[in-house]
C-alpha cells in the first residue's frame, strides 16, 4: 500500500475501492463529509474543502437517489485559481443506506454510503419499538452493512423491563449484537468504543430524542457542549439537522443522522429475506412453493404457529413489509416509465421542430 492509499485508508479507503476508482492515477479522490444544498464538504489527505457537482454529472444523473450523500467516495479536480473542487464522478458504493422518500413522492432517498456498521439506537424508556427496529434492520440488510443494536437510557427503566425488551428482540429471530448504554452514568460507552475500529465507518440511526447526538458528543470529547458542539472540521455546528462524517481521535469514522419520523421501505425484498430468515426457512419447507400460509395442507408456517415456534405478530409484520415494499416499488417503476415516455416525447418534439 503506497502513501496515498495509507492516508486515504484513515478515511475508510480500501482495496475494494482501489479496484473500482478510475481516477486513482491522479490522486484526485475525496470522501463526502457533509452535504449542504448544492455544495458539498469533501475530505481528503490534505484536509477538508468545499466542492460542487460538475454540470455533466448532474446531466448524467438526474434522479434524486443518484445525487451524492455523506460517505460517498468521489473523483474531483480543482480548476486553476479556484478554492472549490469540482466533482466529476462517483466511485461505486460498497454499501448504502436508503429509504423511501418521505410523503407521497416515489423513489429512494440516500441516507449514507460506504458504511461498515449501522448502529440502530432505541431508547429503553419511551422509544423502544420492535416493529420499527425490524424496519431499520431490513434497511441495513438491503444496503449490505452490518447491524448493531444500541439500547440507550437504561438508567430510566427497571432492569427487568430492559431484560424483557432484549428477550423480545431475540424472540423475533434478530441475531444482531445488542449493546446497552446509560446516558447518565455513561455505563456501556467503553464497550461501544471498543467496537469501533480505526478506518471503519459507523452510522447512527434512530428516532429523535434517543440520545444519538449526546452520544456522539461524548465520543468526540465534547460532552460539555451538549448538541451545539463545533465539529472537528470547523465547518458549522454539530447538531442533528444534517448528516456529517466525523473522524474520532481513535481513528473510527462516525455519521450522525437526524431522527427520521417516516421510514418507508422500497425494493427491499432482499433485506426482508435476511431480516426474517426464520420465516423464509420455514416457508421453504411448505409442501407448495406458492403456499399462502393460510389453509394449505402441510404448511410449515401454520404448523410453527400452532406449535408456538413462531409468533403471529412477527409473521404479520413480515407480510406487511413485503406488501409495502412491493407497492412502493411498483409505484416507483410506474413513475420511471412515465418519465422515460415523457423524455422520448420531448426528444421527438424537439426533433420535429428542428426539421421545420
- Burial of 219 (C-beta count, 10 Å sphere; 0-12/13-18/19+): buried
How does pLDDT run across 262-300, given as a tens digit for each residue? Answer: 455 544 455 566 667 788 888 888 988 888 888 888 899
pLDDT attached to residue 349: 47
* Helix, strand, coil share of the chain (percent; to 5): 40, 20, 40
Residue 71 falls in which region: left (phi positive, over 0), alpha (psi -120 to 50) or beta: left
Q: What is the mean pLDDT of residues 77-93?
A: 89
The CATH number of domain 3-90 is 3.40.50.970: no
Q: What is the mean pLDDT of residues 312-329?
A: 73
Alpha-carbon distance 58 to 172, whole Å? Answer: 43
Q: Note the CATH architecture for domain 96-256.
A: 3-Layer(aba) Sandwich (3.40)
Please choose, from the candidates 257, 269, 330, 339, the residue with its C-alpha nearest in 3D space to the C-alpha of residue 63: 339
For the chain, give the mean pLDDT: 80
**Which residue would you say has higher pLDDT here, 61 or 258?**
61
Q: Find where cell 480543482 sits.
A: 78
Alpha-carbon distance 270 to 282, whole Å? Answer: 17
149 confidence band (pLDDT: 50, 70, 90): very high
Q: Let me know if the fold of 3-90 is the same as that of 96-256.
A: no
The x, y and z cell numbers of residue 308, run together, are: 408456538
* Domain coordinates in residue numbering, the chain: 3-90, 96-256, 269-334
Q: Residue 220: is its pLDDT beyond 80?
A: yes
Q: What is the mean pLDDT of residues 52-81?
A: 87
235 confidence band (pLDDT: 50, 70, 90): very low
Within a 13 Å sphere around the CA of 81, how many CA atoms are in the beta-carbon half? 0
pLDDT attached to residue 105: 56
108-113 vs 96-100, strand pairing mode: antiparallel
- H/E stretch holding 122: strand 117-123
Please choose, from the candidates 321, 262, 302, 335, the residue with its C-alpha nearest in 3D space to the C-alpha of residue 101: 262
pLDDT attached to residue 181: 92
121 confidence band (pLDDT: 50, 70, 90): very high
The DSSP symbol for 231 reads: P
Q: Note whether 137 and 173 are within 8 A (CB).
A: no
19 confidence band (pLDDT: 50, 70, 90): very high
- Burial of 206 (C-beta count, 10 Å sphere; 0-12/13-18/19+): buried
Fold held by 269-334? Ribonucleotide Reductase Protein R1; domain 1 (1.10.40)
Alpha-carbon distance 262 to 280, whole Å? Answer: 27
pLDDT attached to residue 201: 97
Q: Find where cell 423464509 sits.
A: 280
Please choose, from the candidates 313, 305, 304, 293, the residue with its C-alpha nearest in 3D space to the C-alpha of residue 130: 313
Instruction: Give pairs for 25-31: CB < 8 Å, separation 24+.
Output: 26/77, 28/75, 28/76, 28/77, 29/73, 29/74, 29/75, 29/76, 29/91, 30/73, 30/74, 30/76, 30/85, 31/71, 31/72, 31/73, 31/74, 31/114, 31/245
Lowest mean pLDDT among 132-146, 163-177, 184-198, 325-339: 325-339
Q: What is the mean pLDDT of residues 250-256?
A: 92
> Percentage of residues in the chain with pLDDT exceeding 70?
75
Alpha-carbon distance 96 to 65, whole Å? Answer: 11
**Which residue would you say has higher pLDDT here, 354 or 200?**
200
Burial 299-312 (b: 16+ CB within 10 A, else e): bbbbebbeeeebee
Q: What is the mean pLDDT of residues 197-222?
A: 86
Lowest mean pLDDT among 149-153, 303-307, 320-324: 320-324
Please choose, from the candidates 72, 69, 61, 67, the residue with its C-alpha nearest in 3D space to the C-alpha of residue 21: 72
Q: Residue 210: is its pLDDT beyond 80?
A: yes
- Burial of 7 (C-beta count, 10 Å sphere; 0-12/13-18/19+): middle
Q: Find where cell 450522525 sits.
A: 256
pLDDT attached to residue 232: 41
Amino acid at each position: 500500500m503506497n502513501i496515498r492509499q495509507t492516508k486515504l485508508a484513515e478515511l475508510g479507503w480500501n482495496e475494494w475501492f482501489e479496484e473500482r476508482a478510475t481516477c486513482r492515477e491522479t490522486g484526485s479522490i475525496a470522501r463526502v463529509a457533509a452535504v449542504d444544498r448544492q455544495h458539498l464538504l469533501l475530505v481528503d489527505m490534505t484536509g477538508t474543502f468545499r466542492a460542487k457537482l460538475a454540470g455533466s454529472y448532474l446531466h448524467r444523473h438526474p434522479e434524486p437517489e443518484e445525487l451524492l450523500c455523506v460517505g460517498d467516495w468521489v473523483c474531483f479536480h480543482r480548476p486553476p485559481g479556484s478554492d472549490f473542487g469540482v466533482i466529476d464522478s462517483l466511485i461505486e458504493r460498497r454499501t448504502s443506506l436508503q429509504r423511501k422518500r418521505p410523503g407521497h413522492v416515489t423513489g429512494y432517498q440516500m441516507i449514507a454510503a460506504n458504511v461498515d456498521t449501522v448502529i440502530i439506537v432505541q431508547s429503553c424508556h419511551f422509544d423502544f419499538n420492535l416493529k420499527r427496529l425490524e424496519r431499520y434492520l431490513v434497511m441495513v440488510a438491503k444496503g449490505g452493512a452490518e447491524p448493531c443494536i444500541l439500547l440507550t437510557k437504561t438508567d430510566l427503566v427497571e432492569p427487568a423491563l430492559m431484560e424483557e425488551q432484549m428477550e423480545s428482540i431475540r424472540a423475533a429471530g434478530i441475531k444482531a449484537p445488542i449493546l446497552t448504554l446509560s446516558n447518565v452514568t455513561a455505563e456501556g460507552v467503553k464497550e461501544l468504543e471498543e467496537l469501533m475500529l480505526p478506518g471503519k465507518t459507523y452510522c447512527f440511526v434512530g428516532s429523535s430524542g434517543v440520545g444519538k447526538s449526546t452520544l456522539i458528543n461524548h465520543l468526540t470529547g465534547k460532552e460539555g457542549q451538549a448538541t451545539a458542539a463545533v465539529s472537528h472540521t470547523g465547518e458549522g455546528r454539530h447538531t442533528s439537522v444534517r448528516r456529517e462524517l466525523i473522524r474520532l481521535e481513535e481513528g473510527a469514522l462516525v455519521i450522525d443522522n437526524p431522527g427520521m419520523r417516516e421510514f418507508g421501505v422500497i425494493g427491499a425484498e432482499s433485506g426482508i429475506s435476511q431480516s426474517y430468515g426464520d420465516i423464509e426457512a420455514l416457508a421453504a419447507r411448505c409442501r407448495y412453493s406458492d403456499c399462502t400460509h393460510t389453509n394449505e395442507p402441510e404448511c410449515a408456517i401454520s404448523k410453527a404457529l400452532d406449535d408456538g415456534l413462531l409468533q403471529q405478530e412477527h409473521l404479520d409484520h413480515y407480510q406487511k413489509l413485503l406488501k409495502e415494499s412491493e407497492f412502493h416499488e411498483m409505484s416507483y417503476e410506474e413513475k420511471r416509465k412515465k418519465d422515460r415516455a415523457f423524455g422520448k416525447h420531448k426528444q421527438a418534439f424537439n426533433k420535429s421542430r428542428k426539421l421545420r
